Structure 1
């Protein structure tokens, strides 16, 4: 271990590292496929009832909006209108011309691919601990009866630096840590600019959302979806919305797996070379009083190909109180969400399995509250 890493690890201990929520250890899917590619264990197979509920016919004719980030940053009115419509009607969009170099995007993909191809013994050195979700494994596993997702992941808190748990940052392949730092730094830059733009289109000064994210929480999750012999019976990732403010996702170029709920069906988000997928998280839905929706999404699997994706979650600090902004509330749009402390909201959601948007119910104003206010 180098002197630089030793010093960084010592500095990391100055502020207590937060924990989030436990996740039960489960088998490694990639290893199962390596050993027996034709078998899908019962615990990964969705019930017929669930499959009927989630396997609506996709809107193949619909396409997630594509926005030119360079034009957006220059204040182009047409692109700002597209952003507003995308957040209201889709909750998802892809951005191009975002300024993150193609070479860096490829380095991130290459380094992560090398990590996931390591022997299982090497990857287990970074396995999640029982009380947290940082490290290698599968998050949101809360019961023995739960149907499991057909995926493995590596989850790291990347910012602020004092929250990093460096024991979970792989030392193999060589230079992986430096690639993660460079990638997350550049994507964070794009994310912070996006927060400024969202602040503006929601009717506030550009600095407001950025101010609520000073020293904010940032997490990177690398998802690995092995091929599955019966992809129609499993899900790579269960339907859910993100608890973040926004999420920025890089996909593999050659295979579609991400799908979003739109108008009662599922729309595939077709990868575009060098684009980033951006989606509205729960906190934007709450701040906007439901004008902008955090949308359910899922990942499907493929019979012949593995797939990877790389999600960077930008979140408020744990002590930030999130509630609808005053100017988003009027007689036609009464307050739909109550005030929540973000750290409490995040931990409560992580203690549940991913199940659509059920976790946001803790923030919704109950009908009884509305009635009492009227009386």
Structure 2
């Protein structure tokens, strides 16, 4: 059983899906009903017209909650190296990987499968390495030393991703009619986490998920995905659409905290990962998170016209604890904070 071996990337080839991964019939992905290769908005951050970029970001955050960026400042070389070293890690010998295994969602580094193994009734067809990434000098020393280039490559990638995330947050703040640093000031000294995801080839992909539908609890998510194997799907107007992987692009999605800060103007939308029968898929999700004591509250500029605050004030530490105490695919956690 997979539950006994803890992770899926264990060298075993399965001809059928183990029962602990099979979703009830009404909860399956219905892959044939999802349009192929539709895309969310693509925003060129190399455009010289900053006002146009801000307008595009506002439209994408309002209407999709997801968008892709190109000419984003993260080097093509480091993106390629990041995917390569991730693949190398998941092909390490089983005993080497299992040194990092943990079922504690609050550990700053852990290898796991699914999101909350102890609470889930059905597991997800995914292994992942979760890392805390900021400040680097605090966390990088505990990262894997095998592969030998892991720490160097991941550190460089994290720095470039953080710079992009902070730039995007400034533009998103301006797109809401706020001062450029308004969101940054509310979020405080933001944490940064990473989930390096490995979705092995699956014998029966129509019966399970890599990740079921969920919204992200953080402020902003930046996803590097394998351009050869699609898997990301987004809920748009009540229907799932596939997100076509673009070369040298990064996928951005709004997290719960930006939905709350925007007073619901921008959406932390549901998304999921499906799996492939023939090929494994790798993705690298980076999360910018408010500092634990940041009080999440819509700026007065967004309620000055008489619009009530949609959510009660709360700290990020409170929200994060509640989010990880639930199953990933339960009701949107933000609903618990509605006024």
Match of 2:259 in 1: 285
Match of 2:278 in 1: 304
Provide Cα deviations, 1:235-278, integer angstroms capped at 9, x if missing partner.
Answer: 00011001111100000011110001001111111101110100
Alignment of 1:166-315 (within 5 A): 166-167=141-142, 169-315=143-289
Unmatched segments (≥5 aa) in structure 2? none
- SS at 2:133 equivalent: strand
Which stretch of the first structure deviates more once superposed, 338-347 or 302-311? 338-347
Decide which of 55, 58, 70 is 1:96's aligned counterpart. 70
- SS at 2:266 equivalent: coil
CA contact under 8 A between 2:234 and 2:270: conserved in structure 1? Answer: yes
Instruction: Name the CA shift for 1:245/1:25 in 2 (closer, same or farther; >3 Å).
Output: farther
Match of 1:58 in 2: 34
- SS at 2:198 equivalent: strand
Match of 1:6 in 2: none
Match of 1:125 in 2: 99
1:27 aligns with 2:6: yes
Provide Cα deviations, 1:136-174, integer angstroms capped at 9, x if missing partner.
Answer: 11353154652110000000000024652744x111111
CA contact under 8 A between 2:224 and 2:284: conserved in structure 1? Answer: yes
Distance (Å, rounded) in 2 between the aligned partners of 1:89 and 1:260: 12
Match of 1:38 in 2: 15
- SS at 1:195 equivalent: helix
Match of 1:164 in 2: 139
Match of 2:43 in 1: 67
Instruction: Name the CA shift for 1:76/1:111 in 2 (closer, same or farther; >3 Å).
Output: same
Bigger Cα Rg:
1
Provide Cα deviations, 1:169-221, integer angstroms capped at 9, x if missing partner.
Answer: 11111121011110000011011100110111111111222233443110011
Distance (Å, rounded) in 2 between the aligned partners of 1:108 and 1:61: 24
Instruction: Name the CA shift for 1:62/1:305 in 2 (closer, same or farther; >3 Å).
Output: closer
The CA RMSD measured in Å over matched residues stands at 2.2
Distance (Å, rounded) in 2 between the aligned partners of 1:178 and 1:82: 34
- SS at 2:128 equivalent: strand
Instruction: Name the CA shift for 1:362/1:51 in 2 (closer, same or farther; >3 Å).
Output: same
CA contact under 8 A between 1:246 and 1:278: conserved in structure 2? Answer: yes
TM-score by length of 1: 0.84
CA contact under 8 A between 1:136 and 1:153: conserved in structure 2? Answer: yes
Distance (Å, rounded) in 2 between the aligned partners of 1:324 and 1:285: 9
Distance (Å, rounded) in 1 between the aligned partners of 2:213 and 2:97: 27
Distance (Å, rounded) in 2 between the aligned partners of 1:263 and 1:197: 25
Instruction: Name the CA shift for 1:244/1:151 in 2 (closer, same or farther; >3 Å).
Output: same
Match of 1:141 in 2: 116
